[in-house]
Amino acid sequence: MLDSAVRKPAASVSLKKQSEIFAFAENERIELADALSHFGKSLDDLVYEQSRKRVWTGGAPRSLEDFKGSQHHIPMVSFFTGCGGIDLGFEAAGFEHVAAFEFNELFCKTLRKNRPEWKVFGPPTDAGDVSKVSEVIAALEPIIPINFEGIFAGGPPCQPFSIASNQRFSKSGTNFKRVGFEHEKNGNLLFDYVSVIKHFRPACFLIENVPGLRDLDGGEQLSAAIKDLRKAGYEVETPTVLNAADYSVPQFRDRLFVIGTRTNRSIIFPTPDEMQYGAGSVLLQKQGKAPNTETRSHKLGSVQRYARLHYGQRDQLGRVDRLSPCRPSKTVIAGGTNGGGRSHLHPEIPRTLSVRECARLQTFPDNYTFVGPTARQFTQVGNAVPPVLAAQLGLSLARSIFGVN
CATH code of 132's domain:
3.40.50.150
Among 365, 367, 362, 368, which residue's Cα sits nearest to residue 381?
362
291 and 269 share one domain: no
129 and 214 share one domain: yes
- Write down the pLDDT at residue 337: 44
Residue 1 covered by a domain: no
Give the pLDDT band (50/70/90) at residue 341: low
DSSP classification of residue 399: H
165 and 286 share one domain: no
Please state, in angstroms and rounded to a whole number, the distance separating the CA atoms of residues 191 and 321.
Answer: 37
Please state, in angstroms and rounded to a whole number, the distance separating the CA atoms of residues 114 and 27.
Answer: 46
Q: Which of 30-39, 66-75, 261-270, 386-395 shows the lowest per-residue confidence on average (mean pLDDT)?
A: 66-75
State the average pLDDT over residues 199-213.
Answer: 96
Query: In the predicted model, is pLDDT for residue 258 greater than 80?
Result: yes
Please state, in angstroms and rounded to a whole number, the distance separating the CA atoms of residues 231 and 242.
Answer: 26
Residue 10 covered by a domain: no
Cβ-based burial of 80 (10 A; exposed 0-12, middle 13-18, buried ≥19):
buried
Please state, in angstroms and rounded to a whole number, the distance separating the CA atoms of residues 142 and 98.
Answer: 12
- Over its C-alpha atoms, the chain yields an Rg (Å, rounded) of 22
The overall average pLDDT reported for the chain is 89
The residues that are catalytic are 158
| 59 Rama class: left (phi>0) / alpha (psi -120 to 50) / beta | left
Residue 313 covered by a domain: yes
SS3 content of the chain, % helix, strand, coil (to 5): 35, 15, 50
When divided into structural domains, the chain yields a total of 2
Q: Which CATH number goes with the domain that contains 363? A: 3.90.120
47 and 86 share one domain: no
Please state, in angstroms and rounded to a whole number, the distance separating the CA atoms of residues 332 and 384.
Answer: 9
Residue 114 covered by a domain: yes
Phi and psi torsions of 120, nearest 5°: -105, 115
Query: In the predicted model, is pLDDT for residue 4 greater than 90?
Result: no
Count of other CB atoms within 10 angstroms of residue 132: 16
State the average pLDDT over residues 380-395.
Answer: 97
192 and 284 share one domain: no
Please state, in angstroms and rounded to a whole number, the distance separating the CA atoms of residues 283 and 330.
Answer: 13
Task: Look at the chain and count its residues.
Answer: 405
Residue 3 covered by a domain: no
Cα-based distances in Å from 250 to 25, 162, 225, 327, 369: 36, 21, 32, 8, 20
Give the pLDDT band (50/70/90) at residue 166: very low
* Strand runs labelled E in 155-297: 204-209, 235-236, 240-243, 254-261
Query: In the predicted model, is pLDDT for residue 51 greater than 90?
Result: no
Count of other CB atoms within 10 angstroms of residue 18: 24
Which uninterrupted H or E stretch holds 23? helix 15-28
271 and 317 share one domain: no
Structural domain boundaries enclosing 122: 64-275+387-400
Residue 179 covered by a domain: yes
Contact 162, 86 (CB under 8 A): no
